[in-house]
Amino acid sequence: MTSSDELRRLWQSDIAHAINQRDVLRELERRMRSFDRTIRMRDLRETVAGLLVTGIYLWMAAGAKTTFERGADLAVAAWGVWVAVFLRRYFHLTRKPAPEQSLSAYREALVERYAAQIRLAKSVKYWFLLPMWLALLLFDIAYRVDGGTNLKFFLVLVVVSAASGFVWWLNEGPGIRCLEKKRRDLAALMEQEGAAE
Amino acid sequence: MRSEQTKFLEIIGQYQPALWRLVNSYEANPGRREDLFQEIALGIWQALPRFRGDASERTWLYRIAHNIAISTLESRRRRDTRELPMPDSVERIGRWRDPDQALVVEEQRQAMLAAIQELPAIDKQLIILHLEGLSYQEIEEVSGLTESAIASRLSRIRDRLTDSIRKQEIRK
């Protein structure tokens, strides 16, 4: 058993396991439905969360006593819309690359997908945390301007800053570390297999 | 949509044996092979509207199948620990008229399959494409490697497979 033809004959002696084409199609439809449902649920969750924040603060803006307070409410409402739009715009970065490329290009695209997710996660502080913190700060200032106590003003400032800081730490620490590990593992595997000559 | 479905069924029907051999060489656990086959079928279905005929249908299909097999097994490897493969030879031997001859062929095939499963992804892809009868030019289209790199790698892989089969024969 040495020649290419013999190896090929042996390889093709594997009589295919019979799979019913209709079963393939049925299973395919089931997977597509489940995939579509997951995407729809994710989109719905983001939209509902965004609309909820926006709705609540628009309602609060309508009943605000001062212009400053109304401005703060509108800023939080705008932040809700901004996050929903931003996520919708950039969520494609988490999708798997198209598989109809060469193996090396596909593997590079998989690694790049992690790199893009890391970049997105690293920018969370700018597009998510900072606008949220500024909007809530504005809200807090409006409260103080409206005659609120210093104690409550500082308490809210500390709580909001601490919560934002915690989310920042979670994202920049464990979140990014986990993504970086996955990217490193994949890149190492790619390198190892590419160098298997 | 209707014509896409017909086209999809046509492709699956035509390439099913080759796809199934490919699945066997990537997935050592027979219990998970159908799942991988379905993942590949899903990938083909999703990519079908983007197929413009720039490459041949065969090379397009092999690209998808190999890439999905690699990424599916890669994410599964991260998710859980490796399960021990279960032998599926008994069922295959039952299909042959001469059980002795069937046993010999099946043992050789299993030795070759085991050797292929141990190969790095790129070598695995090259040898499968070669054994499926693709030309060097077609293999180049699928893998992105040059023809000379393909030739030198294939020569080494063939030696390795032949060696595995010989060792298995000696053990008998």
pLDDT (tens digit, 9 = 90+) per residue, B132-163? 889 999 998 888 888 999 999 999 999 988 88
* DSSP states along B17-63: HHHHHHHHHH---HHHHHHHHHHHHHHHHHHGGG--SSS-HHHHHHH
Helix (H) and strand (E) counts in chain B? 8, 0
pLDDT of residue B87: 47
Residue-number span of the structural domain to which B10 is assigned: 1-84
pLDDT reading at B169 higher than 90 = no
User: Does one domain contain both B26 and B65?
Assistant: yes
Interface residue B123 vs chain A (CB under 8 A): yes
pLDDT of residue A196: 44
CA distances from B42 to A87, B7, B89, B98 (A): 26, 14, 28, 38
Domain boundary among B61, B84, B107: B84
From A141-155, B16-30, B81-95, the region with the lowest mean pLDDT: B81-95
pLDDT of residue B60: 92
User: Does one domain contain both B128 and B80?
Assistant: no
pLDDT (tens digit, 9 = 90+) per residue, A172-185? 888 888 888 878 87
Question: Rounded to the nearest 5°, which phi and psi values hold at A148?
Answer: -70, 165
**Domains: count for chain B:** 2
Single-letter amino acid code for the residue at B128: I
Contact A102 B142 (CB under 8 A): yes
Residue B163's domain is classified under what CATH number?
A: 1.10.10.10
Distance between CA B61 and CA B64 in Å, rounded?
A: 5
CB-based contact B153:B123 (threshold 8 Å): yes
* Structure tokens, B79: 């998710």
User: Does one domain contain both B57 and B129?
Assistant: no
Query: Could you tell me the pLDDT band of residue A34, with boundaries at 50, 70 and 90?
Result: confident
Contact A7 B42 (CB under 8 A): no
Could you report how far apart the first and last alpha carbons of chain A are, in Å?
Answer: 24
CA angle, corner B84, sides to A184 and B121, nearest 5? 40
Please, what is the average pLDDT of chain A? Answer: 81
Contact A1 B165 (CB under 8 A): yes
Quote the minimal CA–CA distance from B119 to chain A in Å: 9
User: Does one domain contain both B52 and B8?
Assistant: yes
Contacts of A196 in chain B (CB under 8 A): 120, 122-123
pLDDT reading at A52 higher than 80 = yes
pLDDT of residue A194: 55
pLDDT reading at A165 higher than 80 = yes
CB-based contact A128:A87 (threshold 8 Å): no
Contacts of A106 in chain B (CB under 8 A): 63, 67, 70-71
Distance between CA B84 and CA A181 in Å, rounded?
A: 26
Full-model pTM: 0.69
Give the pLDDT mean for B103-111. 81
Helices assigned H by DSSP within chain A: 4-12, 21-62, 67-90, 103-122, 124, 130-145, 150-170, 176-194
Domain boundary among B26, B52, B84: B84
User: Does one domain contain both B118 and B49?
Assistant: no
Give the pLDDT mean for A85-98. 74
Domain boundary among B84, B113, B142: B84
| ipTM score of complex | 0.74
User: Does one domain contain both B22 and B69?
Assistant: yes
pLDDT of residue B84: 45
- Radius of gyration, alpha carbons of chain A: 26
- Please count the residue pairs, one from chain A and one from chain B, whose beta carbons lie less than 8 angstroms apart: 134
User: Does one domain contain both B128 and B53?
Assistant: no
Single-letter amino acid code for the residue at B69: A
User: Does one domain contain both B31 and B61?
Assistant: yes
pLDDT (tens digit, 9 = 90+) per residue, B74-88? 777 666 544 444 445
Give the pLDDT mean for A72-95. 80
From A161-165, B28-32, B36-40, B47-51, the region with the lowest mean pLDDT: B28-32
User: Does one domain contain both B161 and B109?
Assistant: yes
Which of the listed ranges A67-76, A123-132, B151-160 does the model predict with the highest average pLDDT?
B151-160
pLDDT (tens digit, 9 = 90+) per residue, B46-81? 888 888 877 789 999 999 999 999 888 877 766 654
pLDDT reading at B95 higher than 80 = no
Contact B43 A99 (CB under 8 A): yes
User: Does one domain contain both B5 and B62?
Assistant: yes
Interface residue A20 vs chain B (CB under 8 A): no
CA distances from A104 to A116, A121, B144 (A): 18, 26, 7
pLDDT (tens digit, 9 = 90+) per residue, A4-27? 788 888 888 765 566 666 777 777
